[in-house]
Amino acid sequence: MVLLTPLAANADTAASPRTATAAAKTTPAEPAQDPGDDTPQEFQTLPEPAPAPERSNCDEQHLKELRDAGQKRAVCVEWGAPQEAAKKQTARPKSAAKSAGSAFWCANENMNKTYVTRTSICSRRSMTILLVDTITGKTWGKARGYTEQEIDTQTNSVEFDEHFKFHLTDSDITSSVMTVKAEAICSLDDSCKQRGPWADKPQPITVGQSVEGHWSRSWNGTKGRKTFLLQYDIIVNIGSGFGNLSWGGHLEPGGGTFKVRCDNSVNRFAGCVVPSFTPTLVVPKKHKEARAFIAVAQASMSTHPGLKGAGKPLHREGSLKESEKNRAVICDSTYKAASNTPNPTCDEFPFAKSKESGRRLGVKSGKECQWYWVAEDTVNGKKNSLLMWDGLFEAKLPPSAKCARASMPSIQNKGVGGALGNLTKEERLLNNDPYWVDAGAKK
């Protein structure tokens, strides 16, 4: 279909009831409890896919085939950056807002890269068009241009759209009219409905002009999930010859660059996301001690679970039965609430609803975990609370372990759990989906 158009206390005993006020007076600087910045990175740059194992459309075998067929000239389309387009372009603010004067939000980012948010894919790639003599192999002419494409999904809708543009930058091919046509495959089965308002025919183009348009797509399914590997083909005609360039879909061995996933497994509505983007759970600052607990655990564990830039992301555990097993091991009978924690509950990190729970890493009991507690007291009518652990007053982090547990006020424990639940719904996290955890810990 055409798109184009013009502190570890003994876990077997109760924690020390040392007061929060006394601790506050003797506590050293608290970089590990720094609340940090609540704003996650808004877009990510995808790694380049492995090149497709296909020959150049200007190789000797292809030229011979055309020569034997009586064709004197071949049109060859290849990825390639014009010198001026390959230069690093002016940086823009870290925002997914569209740049002024462009319909594509990645317009000011570097060429030949693909950028993603949880609901969008944006890419700009340069290409070279060659007019080659099939007998001598001589290049008779060269043209340069680039493609721009942006795919936008909605987390509460099964519809996702794409804006696509091809721009011809320069050309010394003057012998014949050039036309271009773009085609796309949404799915190899009938699970994706794809619509475009333009006829399936090439569009003429000259230097300095663009041809562009939209595809409108939707998932036809009603149950489970479906992943679409979008595949593209651009066809260039010059006179009686034509050449094409394909990308995306199953043409990328390392690929899935243009990947959209739709499901109706979370939330009340079906929706679609870009699964290659890893979202971030920002632990709310109002849950101060719970946030500090996660931050210190991330900083002190050798694997730095969920800490972007230092460790690996956590992954959602979608089975309630498995998450209950995880919690039963970490918060087993060896857990003893601290006497000065208000409304204490057993808190754990990594979360029970993650594949990285201590149980999944071989932990047999919560007493093997790091141990923390929240101490609270009242002085002159004012309540003071502080996250504590053995070694805090010597400015030491807890020894590394595979897990951490804490005597945590119920409201904070539930608050962080609620934030994780909201992230799961808002970002449509399915079983084994990765996510980062930002609690203010430093790399």
On the question of pLDDT at 201 being above 90, the answer is no
Question: For residue 282, which phi and psi values (nearest 5 degrees)?
Answer: -95, 110
User: How far, in Å, are 16, 272, 294, 340 from residue 10 at the CA level?
Assistant: 10, 47, 19, 16
The segment with the largest mean pLDDT, out of 105-114, 190-199, 380-389, 397-406, is 397-406
Give residue 413's pLDDT.
98
**Measured distance CA(223)–CA(369) in Å, rounded:** 40
Give residue 66's pLDDT.
82
User: How far, in Å, are 121, 193, 195, 317 from residue 216 at the CA level?
Assistant: 15, 8, 5, 33
* pTM as predicted: 0.83
List 142's β-bridge partners, or say none. Answer: 130
On the question of pLDDT at 40 being above 50, the answer is no
**Is residue 33 very low, low, confident or very high in pLDDT (cuts 50, 70, 90)?**
very low
For 403-436, how does the pLDDT look when each residue is reduced to its tens digit (9 = 90+)?
999 999 999 999 999 999 999 999 999 999 999 9
Domain range annotation of the chain: 20-40+279-438, 44-273
Q: Are 10 and 218 in contact (CB under 8 A)?
A: no
List 262's β-bridge partners, or say none. Answer: 226, 272
Give residue 91's pLDDT.
37
Instruction: Give the residue among 336, 399, 398, 397 at the shortest CA–CA distance from 365.
Output: 336
Q: What percent of the chain has pLDDT over 70?
A: 81
Q: Are 294 and 331 in contact (CB under 8 A)?
A: no
**Is residue 192 very low, low, confident or very high in pLDDT (cuts 50, 70, 90)?**
very high
On the question of pLDDT at 393 being above 60, the answer is yes
- 123 vs 16, which has greater pLDDT? 123
Instruction: Give the residue among 128, 97, 95, 134 at the shortest CA–CA distance from 111.
Output: 128
Average pLDDT value over all residues in the chain: 84
For 285-322, how does the pLDDT look when each residue is reduced to its tens digit (9 = 90+)?
999 999 999 999 999 999 999 999 999 999 999 999 99
3-class state of residue 289 by DSSP: helix
Give residue 382's pLDDT.
87
Q: Which residues contact 33 (CB under 8 A, 6 or more apart)?
A: 292, 295, 296, 387, 440
On the question of pLDDT at 400 being above 50, the answer is yes
Point out the least confidently predicted range of 219-233, 336-350, 402-416: 219-233
Q: What percent of the chain has pLDDT over 90?
A: 61
**Is residue 96 very low, low, confident or very high in pLDDT (cuts 50, 70, 90)?**
very low
**Measured distance CA(229)–CA(328) in Å, rounded:** 40
For 97-155, how does the pLDDT look when each residue is reduced to its tens digit (9 = 90+)?
444 456 899 988 888 999 999 999 999 999 999 999 888 888 889 999 999 999 999 99
**Is residue 389 very low, low, confident or very high in pLDDT (cuts 50, 70, 90)?**
very high
- Taking the alpha carbons at both ends of the chain, their separation in whole angstroms is 47
Instruction: Give the residue among 284, 419, 259 at the shortest CA–CA distance from 353.
Output: 419
**Is residue 32 very low, low, confident or very high in pLDDT (cuts 50, 70, 90)?**
very low
